[in-house]
Amino acid sequence: MKMYFSQSSRANRTLSEKEIERNALLSDLEKTKRALEIAYAGFDNVTEPDLIDCYIYEVNSVLKRYKFLMEQAAALLPLPEEDTHPASLNAEAPAASLIG
């Protein structure tokens, strides 16, 4: 059975530098999230005091990395601006416009 794939959609689409940086950042955030889950799971399953200390440091380390990546994401991906144009806002009460 032969399968044919369209190469044109991938060949014509090149990622910009900003899109590449965004994808890398999102990938790093996902990896950090998994690392944090693993660190918390390890912390929950140890009883040895030295290992408890180790997991506390690991959790704190991953949280600091997560905070840094979130700051980078905030700088890279600005929030969409709110629509505050006076023409788009209805000054009347919503019920008044329905009634009459």
What is the model's pTM?
A: 0.60
- Angle among Cα 18, 23, 28 to the nearest 5 degrees reads 125
C-alpha to C-alpha distance for 54 and 49, rounded to whole angstroms: 9
Q: Which parts of the chain fold into alpha helices (H)?
A: 8-12, 17-44, 49-76, 94-99
pLDDT, block means (10 residues), the chain with 100 residues: 54 75 92 96 95 95 95 78 51 51
Are 37 and 55 in contact by the 8 Å Cβ rule? The answer is no
Angle between helices 49-76 and 17-44 (to 10 degrees): 160
